[in-house]
Structure 1
């Protein structure tokens, strides 16, 4: 199978990453909020940290593939696809005037190397790079040369969000932010046209759907159970639409979806920022959500295309135990200390990437949580993330599993 992920913990065999690129250089203080960043990472150190992350994965037997390489291969394999891709990318980049569409297309199309082209679409394009020598419009006259005509895509190194691997299929997401929704163009082309994925991946959700959903909210509990966060970025309507597709119009083996209703907060933007599985019977969790979390069980109804939805009035441990058929332990971020937990959760102390049962990758900076995880018998692989974390994402956020053992 091109995609095969039925759990969060068994041996990770293949993963998708994106190495941070020059898109980070086009972040400015004035665009941080629009581009969903809290600070500007130092690119060279961010790349060193990310390269080390990839090295740790490879040293543990994981095949690492890169988004930029898969998209380059897609264009190389399909020479006639380039023009279609560029026109779509420019339109979705918010370029509506004929003058700028033409100038931008000519500029991008003049880049002959497909890898260089893909990286440039990710980096963004400013006004001085394209041929608009004739100042014949009000926009031309009032715009500085540094104006970004095509905005950068600095969130791309969080490959968890544009799509999610579920069983042998993919949930291709409609993203919360207009800026990030362009990221899903790459996955859409890869799954439709790349020779390794074309006609081999079932699409469980599409990027033109009306409601937003992001990959950080989707956790594969097991082959038949999916957990999805109702969060700042994933709407309840999207979960209902996805459930109907999975239950009634797909080959998926998922029979139950657990919807976790999270407080809407920048700190809790996705389910995996507060809750991840790290072993057969262990989960990390931010204690700040325990008093407010509501869980809903979604299953097929008796009537076609309808859902049965029940709120689970029980502890989270008991709910998880029912579906995992074993006792579970919730390990509190920061040991449950309110100040430590808030600080380390903000720096993705709960956002772990499990690469085999009990073996997890974490940021080294979350010292209290990491020591607790070690004391529980887990093998903790620590990586530096001082610059990477400025985008508000950890090892799980930066990785999209394409293949895991069952």
Structure 2
């Protein structure tokens, strides 16, 4: 059950990780839709799959068990009618279709898909308007139905795909032995946490894990997993970013600090980074390499602010302290319990290289063990800096995967690491 999850650091030897292999959802990207679906370009699916398969292969070569999100969801609904119904109802509610007759037709189409894995992959792929022939069957009873059925408002799509799901770091986050089901910033990603809800409620292995946070945009702000770093057994770092706001951090911090069962967390560090797409999440500008080493995009250093959240005097309250004036090195050393830390700058001190390679996720690394780190092959300046620093790098080909603006850390959700 929940004890199958165990994450107390970003660098302890990685034992189990969850990925999502890009699928036909990429084929439903178009120049007209990619903006609202948070893409700057359209990856070539076959090459992206080859690169992703190599990523998974490299993880396995380092004794990491690789799980796949669609398979976990399929296993959760395979023999559980309630879970299947929850998945379909939740997905349809967030589909963006308001016409009852169109929704009924879509639901009927999905309910006739018997194979659980085929169904889950279809939910991720999205539905084209020409798949159902809605009006030809007499289902359209209004002008709104006709417009929806034609997909005219979505460039031929009846229901959008979920192409960002290969960034499995974001929709939910493993912290300790529990999970934060995150509240996504963008409408296009708000169906993603639903898959985590199904897994952690119904999966035969992972059901029953403590839930530290659940989606609730109006009530508790937004928080995404790319902004959450487990710095140690009792300290969590969270970015205040383009996609995670202070209200979201407040909500998660309250549960981590005061919830039952206990999370083991007694301190949350909130890192305020530039709120723009080039920074996006904390892990796109800042990741841990070793017990005393971090990789940082230098563009955040001049404006970075850090706040410490701990338990307040009264039950359920939070004490907040600004760490302004405290060097980042000191903040991090204190957070992870070492005398000092080494900070490496993405781009190696060259501002053009830093901007270029950070855009291509040069600062977004995934440690498989202390000092052994998966990086994107294309970021040669930063990688050379890390090689010279003595790190053992595992390079992943990334010409297509990087088009979605996410690196090895973004593409993985660690389920289990050894304690340091």
**In which range does the TM-score fall when normalised by the shorter chain?**
over 0.9
| Structure 1 residue aligned with 2:255 | 245
8 A contact 1:171–1:206 mirrored in 2: yes
Matched, 1:270 2:275: no
For residues 197 and 156 of structure 1, the distance between their equivalents in structure 2, rounded to whole angstroms, comes to: 19
Aligned to 1:137: 142
Shift of 1:325: 2.5
Partner residue, 1:342: 355
Q: Is structure 2 residue 9 aligned with structure 1 residue 7?
A: yes
SS at match of 2:348: helix
Instruction: Answer with 266-275 or 244-253: which moved more.
Output: 244-253
Q: Which residue of 1 aligns with 2:230?
A: 220
- Partner of 1:335, secondary structure, is coil
Structure 1 SS opposite 2:78: helix
- Other-structure match for 1:156: 165
- Kept in 1: contact 2:8–2:233 (CA 8 A): yes
2:163 aligned with 1:177: no
- Stretches of structure 2 that go unaligned for 5 or more consecutive residues are none
Q: Tell whether 2:216 aligns with 1:204.
A: no
What are the equivalent positions in structure 2 for 1:6-85 lying under 5 Å apart?
6-85=8-87
Secondary structure at 1:298 match in 2:
strand
Deviation for aligned residue 1:96: 2.2
Comparing 126-135 with 205-214, greater Cα deviation is found at 126-135
Deviation at 1:131, TM superposition (A): 4.1
The more displaced of 50-59 and 134-143 is 134-143
Deviation at 1:240, TM superposition (A): 1.1
Give the distance between the partners of 1:141 and 1:171, measured in 2 at CA: 40
- Aligned-residue CA RMSD (Å): 1.2
| Structure 1: segments with no counterpart, 5+ residues | none
Shift of 1:128: 1.4
Q: Which residue of 2 aligns with 1:308?
A: 319
CA deviations 1:251-295 (Å, max 9, x no partner) are 111111000001111011000000000101110000011100000
TM-score under structure 2 length normalisation: 0.94
What is the rounded CA distance, in whole Å, between the counterparts of 2:162 and 2:381 in structure 1?
33
Q: What corresponds to 1:187 in structure 2? A: 196
Contact 1:284–1:330 (CA under 8 A) maintained in structure 2: yes
Asked if the contact 2:91/2:194 (under 8 Å) is kept, the reply is yes
Cα pair 2:101 2:145 within 8 Å, conserved: no
Match of 2:334 in 1: 322
